[in-house]
Amino acid sequence: MAMAVCCGAAFQTNYLTLFPIGVILLWFLANLWPLSRVVAVMAPLVAVGLGSVGFSALLQQLGTRPDQYAGFVGFAEEIQTIRKMTLYLIWKPAFLSERLGWWIYKGPTLLLGSLIGITFLQFLRHWRESNRKLWLLFLGLAVAPSLGVVLLDFFFNKHLHQPSYLVFAGPALAVVATYGSTKLISARRWLGMAPLAILLGLQIASIDWGSPKGLMGHRGLDMRSVAGLIQASSSPSHIVVIGAGDENEYGHPGSVVYELEPQTMIVVLRVTGDLEGLLADVQDYEDVWLIQAVDHATADVENVFANRLQESGRYREVFRKWPAIHFRKVSPLFG
């Protein structure tokens, strides 16, 4: 019953826990059924009862921002993307440079696949003494979040391609990836320690170590420095225009929002947005900051916005360092 209460309470924290909770409840139901059918049935009912308290919030969440991540990309691309996102749970480089290219993504993918392969080989070798029921639970917990995202994407016509949506698979995936190596250590220590040491190195390289843009950050200013410049170099009347770019891109300029003062006026510049309306609206501000998207996805509309602003004769560029451009209104007396 304690398990059921914890599962019901967990759903209140994040609706994506629905999928690992479902695996846990099914696993307990299957294992408790031969011992006590009453307990086996009552436990899921308690969890569902507690979870239903927040079910309306789930429906409300699914109905908000209908245009965000809209459109199912197809099962082939969906599976490929989910596979990459799953890898990011263990390995997303922040310490190494992107210039290393192939080795940053393909190398760790091969290592992770090898570690999982070693686990299954060890599992088959020790089939009789293995706790197969427990392993079934681990495998279910490792797969459930990915399967859940695929189902949400398919039924709600979305593409929820954010690694954070798979975070609940992390602990089970770590167990599956490292179990084989730990079994090898007892037989051949060096052979088991080698992949674990590499995996530890990958984990260390996934930490940004406090750098505001990550040690694999993009060129130019980090967003904390940009925010500092905006607050130090602007008049009280200023507006920040952020290039939309790819919202999934590492180092997206939208992160500057968290560093700015709450009262700062912020506008997102999109390819399909009302550029003429935006150009008219910014005329009310003394300072205009343009923060360009790091992936250049909205570079064309950003350049048009910057050029039109200067060509209007009302603003002049006073500062430029990637990804920020600062425009100041020209004084009618000294312009």
Residue 241 has pLDDT above 90, yes or no: yes
What backbone phi and psi angles, to 5 degrees, belong to 25?
-65, -40
Residue 216 has pLDDT above 90, yes or no: no
Give CA–CA dist 143/249, Å, rounded: 25
What are the pLDDT digits (tens) for 34-75? 888 888 788 888 888 877 776 676 666 666 566 667 788 888
With cut-offs at 50, 70 and 90, classify the pLDDT of residue 259. confident
Residue 304 has pLDDT above 80, yes or no: yes
Give CA–CA dist 108/90, Å, rounded: 9
SS3 call for 66: coil
Q: What pLDDT is recorded for position 316?
A: 92
Residue 257 has pLDDT above 90, yes or no: no
What backbone phi and psi angles, to 5 degrees, belong to 262?
-55, -30
What length is written for the chain?
A: 335
With cut-offs at 50, 70 and 90, classify the pLDDT of residue 335. very low
- Determine contact, residues 23/137, Cβ cutoff 8 Å: yes
Give CA–CA dist 29/24, Å, rounded: 9
Q: Which residue has the higher pLDDT, 225 or 66?
A: 225
What's the one-letter identity of residue 255? S
Residue 247 has pLDDT above 70, yes or no: no
Give CA–CA dist 4/167, Å, rounded: 21
Which pair of structure tokens corresponds to residue 298?
A: 């909205």
DSSP of 89-137: TT---SSS-GGGTHHHHHHHHHHHHHHHHHHHHHHHHTTTTS-HHHHHH
Residue 113 has pLDDT above 90, yes or no: no
